[in-house]
Structure 1
Amino acid sequence: MHGKFWARVGALCLSVLLLTGCAGTRTVNQEAAANYLAQSDYRAYAQQYLNPVTGDPSYDPESLLDALEAGKAFNDAGMWALSRDAFDAAATQLNWKEDTVDTPAEVANLLGTTLTSDAFGAYQGKIHQGILIDYYQAINHLMLGNEANARVDLNRLQVRQGNARTQLRAYIKTVNKSVKDGLTDDKSAGARESLGEIGPKIADGIKDLPSGLGQSKIRLAAGDVISAVFRATSSAQSDKRQTLSRDMLKSANAASATRGGNAVIAYLRRELKRNKGILANKVILVYEDGTGPSLQEFRLDLPLFIVTDKVTYTGIALPQFVPGHPAFGKLKVGAGKTQQETATLTDINELAALEFDAGYKGVVAKAVISTTLKTAAQAVVNHQIDQQKMDPLIGSLLKLGTGAAQYALTKADTRAWANLPNTIQMVVVDRPASGKLQLSDPLNQLITDIPIEKDVNTLVLIKASGTLGKPAVYVQQLPAQNVVPPLEVAPPVPTLQKA
């Protein structure tokens, strides 16, 4: 009898130790990532994913989250080939989000009988992350001067975007069914009662979601616009069919996050119509501003009637959506009467919030049901402690241990792609007659002058995740030519460093 008791306690402790090490590899933790991003120090961030001696990649290609963050870190630093390889590794783990419209069982099974949260398992990824992979791969190949591969990426992006709304609807349907099935089980009476008691409190997880979310926002409007620009500037005559760019801009218009983004799209549409599907002597400026949304954990105590009052801990841990924040907010391009501002086409908060909102009720239901099972197990162990007739102090300490074990197994899954921007903005302008495109902050103070070649279309990428360092600027001709080195720019003005 004593042997079985100690075996049960030992197994509980062992399970905690094993599971706390199963959440997957991550090379750069979120605190360190935030420090690099606050300074827009993309080079230093990217170096964390390289062996300091050999310079070879050192991230874990089998860890989806690590590969995503490494790919983005390399992209931000202008290390296009390394970014391509990292995103290739991530893409192999997200193929279902490109080629099918079904929600796979391992993602859909929100309400299994497991005693642990999803935070202890492999990171599954999101629909919108597959879209972003193809977008950034297209950018990588454009900057590498590989037009053919960029076309493949943009074609794949259109497939993924076309499937995304269907996948989102299937995901919502799956979550709703899982919640219904999980809470109508005879063994879930305590969970249902507890949900009724804590109902208002669980809304804290979604209180900061963006307003006006619609399923059309699952598309990456900036990706659709880049696709249209690529067709209009590529060296292949078959890309010049106006219907290709027109349809892509129509999709972008529906998904655009702001009216300013719609205005950029309308301008492109007019220019393409006027020039029969081509662009000439234009500057297409893409600006990634700020840092994207994240998740944080909050805990709620559950009413003890869930099982019994003979427990030392019973509660749930839930993820809370935390919106991203801007850096400069926007940039001004050009000077004088022709000066324009970048406009937001894609708000990453909307992309991430759509799936978070869709799955949140499933996360809550699973947390409560899981806690019901764990609390019942804790009560059984504590009852056995009472039956051992041991020293009261030792018995109390053991009971505290079982409560601590349940606390350790109660964890919200707060993993998220840490180095995404807050927004993706764009503006399209004529090449300045001076050959230099002036870039200024919202207070109209000069950041840098960007040299622009004559009689070509030019893609300009600008990235600023914070205002404590230099924005990154990259320039490439369209059709894609040899890689242009990154442009060194002056530090941001002091007046914006505290923004």
Structure 2
Amino acid sequence: MKTSMLVLAAMTLAGCQSAYRNHAKEVANSFKNGDYQTASATAKEGAAKRADDETERVIYNLEAARTAQAAGDYYGSITHYDAVHEDLRPYLDTEAQYTVSEAVATTAVNQAMRTYRGTPGERIMASSMNSLNHLAVSDRDSARLELNRAWDWQQDAIKRYQKEIEAAQKKLEKEAEDEGVAGSTSRDIPDFMKSYYSGLENMSGYADYRNPFASHLRGVYMLTNAVDDGDRDRARFDLRQAIQDNPTCAPALRDDLQLLEGSQRHLVPPITWVYFMTGRSPYYEELEIRVPIPSSQVPTAAAAFPMLKTHDDHLRYMEVDIQDGNGPIKTVQLVDMDSVVANEFNTRLPLIISQEIMSAAAKAAATYGMSEGMGDWGTLIGTVYQQATAEADLRCWQSMPKEIQVARVLTPQGGQIQLSGPGGRNLGTASVTPGESNIVVVTLPSAMAPNPSTMSLQLTGKPIKPQLKAPEQAETPAS
């Protein structure tokens, strides 16, 4: 009876994982095709269904937040990003990332049983993206708060992320010893697995979990909304750090640094920064193989691992033209999100592999025990249980961009900025407030998407347009 319930539970859990994968695929397909409204509606529905599921709701809310933002529902996006922060906030400096109960669950079932709390890169991006929402609804104080949160997450990652992975590895080694499968864990990628993950070492990311986009966004906010010289010093620090992390972006940042380092740094002319969020960030596919385990009775076992895959379907750049007679300006790369995601995945990979091999070994040992005690019926139950629970954790924030690029222009007097892609492809016109500093955010998830999603955000002066009303008062118009 107990073993039958175990198999039933395993099948139920497998069904939950299948539901997530189908949902993520549906959202990703709509988003990729530029159907922002459908992607948002699907993601919002999924997040509502998972509102009470502590294991899954962070990843559902991340997708709902980003797709709502692309659909022009800024208040809805804020709601989902805030829900993410409420779930993650207890882990900022205070709580361990890996609990004993989760370790037991991941060994007995699979790593998708772990509560999803986001990676450092996802946490930093969530706060940075939410700051854009607050600027869109003219709440600059809340935008500053979100930028500070992004900084806090980066500092938290420096202090704790690697240490917690090492602590989890030690805990896993102790558990493996207690389970009698001590040879199943390793602090390096096993030789028989290396061919599956070749190339990751070439995607190195940025030092200390930094994100040049987060640095740049905070820098231009502090530049245009400085209340004292401390803010201006912070702006200079952030812009310098962005260039240090990614020298490619220097042409778009030098003029702002010169402003901050000159005697007239209190006098900032009306500037518009254009962010081009092109493509989609990496995703995971499942690798199912049989792996060697430290057991004389069962030398191999079925196991499943996540494999990182990147999207190549994106526009390589965008051109920004304020029609001043000087021609268009091409965007330059600010952050390579592929490298950010790959670097963090590579850091976790030895632990992921060790957990899965240990889990496979423990399940194989249990199957052997049931076979010895129950004969063919025990073998059948154990085999079904192994197959039902051999699933990799494929959860990740798929609607993040592949790259974020930037261009800097003086705000045009006519308030119109022409946007175009390679080959002169028309990407539309962005409207900005003349005489003020602005941010324009252009999202194009794939080259095949017919039109981008465009946000125009005012950084300085009294907004000409009134604040958008919250969803309970009126529908928020799409940009």
Choose which of 204, 208, 217 in structure 2 pairs with 1:226. Answer: 217
CA–CA separation in structure 2 for the residues paired with 1:228 and 1:266: 12
> Is 1:254 matched with 2:244?
yes
1:304 CA drift (Å): 7.3
User: How far did residue 8 of structure 1 move?
Assistant: 5.0
Query: Rg bigger for which structure?
Result: 1
Aligned to 2:190: 199
Partner of 1:272: 260
The superposition leaves residues 190-213 of structure 1 with CA deviations (integer Å, 9 ceiling, x where unpaired) of 536xx89x9333225533436251
Greater shift, 412-421 or 347-356, is seen at 347-356
- The one-letter amino acid of 2:58's match is L
Residue 138 of structure 2 is aligned to residue 131 of structure 1? no
- The more displaced of 109-118 and 219-228 is 109-118
Matches within 5 A, 1:461-480: 461-466=441-446, 467-479=448-460
Seen in structure 2, the aligned counterparts of structure 1 residues 375 and 383 have a Cα distance that, compared at 3 Å, is same
What's 2:200 paired with? 209
Query: Which residue of the partner structure matches residue 391 of structure 1?
Result: none
* Mapped pair 1:15 → 2:9: yes
Choose which of 369, 373, 396 in structure 2 pairs with 1:416: 396
Letter in 2 for 1:292: S
- The residue that corresponds to 2:473 in the other structure is none
Contact 2:303 2:357 in 1 (8 A): yes
Instruction: Give the secondary structure class of the aligned counterpart of 1:460.
Output: strand
Aligned counterparts, 1:64-463, within 5 A: 64-96=58-90, 99-100=92-93, 103-106=96-99, 114-178=107-171, 181=174, 187-189=180-182, 191=184, 199-209=190-200, 211-213=202-204, 216=207, 218-234=209-225, 237-238=227-228, 241-256=231-246, 259-274=247-262, 275-303=264-292, 306-309=295-298, 314-334=301-321, 337-386=326-375, 395=376, 399-432=379-412, 435-463=415-443
Q: For residue 106 of structure 1, what is the amino acid of its counterpart?
A: T
- Contact 1:332/1:439, CA 8 A, preserved across alignment: yes
The TM-score, its normalising length taken from structure 1, stands at 0.82
Distance 1:433 1:105 in 2: 54
Question: Closer, same or farther in 2 for the Cα pair 1:448/1:19, shift >3 Å?
Answer: closer
AA in 1 matched with 2:219? A
* Contact 2:106–2:112 (CA under 8 A) maintained in structure 1: no
Cα distance in structure 1, aligned partners of 2:44 and 2:426: 34
User: For the Cα contact (< 8 Å) 1:84–1:140, is it kept in 2?
Assistant: yes
Q: What percentage of residue pairs aligned between the two structures are identical?
A: 20
- CA separation in 2, counterparts of 1:142 and 1:150? 6
Closer/same/farther in 2, CA of residues 368 and 111 from structure 1, 3 Å limit: farther
- RMSD over aligned Cα atoms: 3.3
Aligned to 1:392: none
> Which SS does the other structure have where 2:268 is aligned?
coil
Amino acid corresponding to residue 232 of structure 2 in structure 1: Q
SS where residue 68 of structure 1 aligns? helix
- Secondary structure at 1:104 match in 2: coil
Gapped regions of structure 1 (runs ≥ 5):
1-6, 387-394, 489-499
TM-score under structure 2 normalisation?
A: 0.85
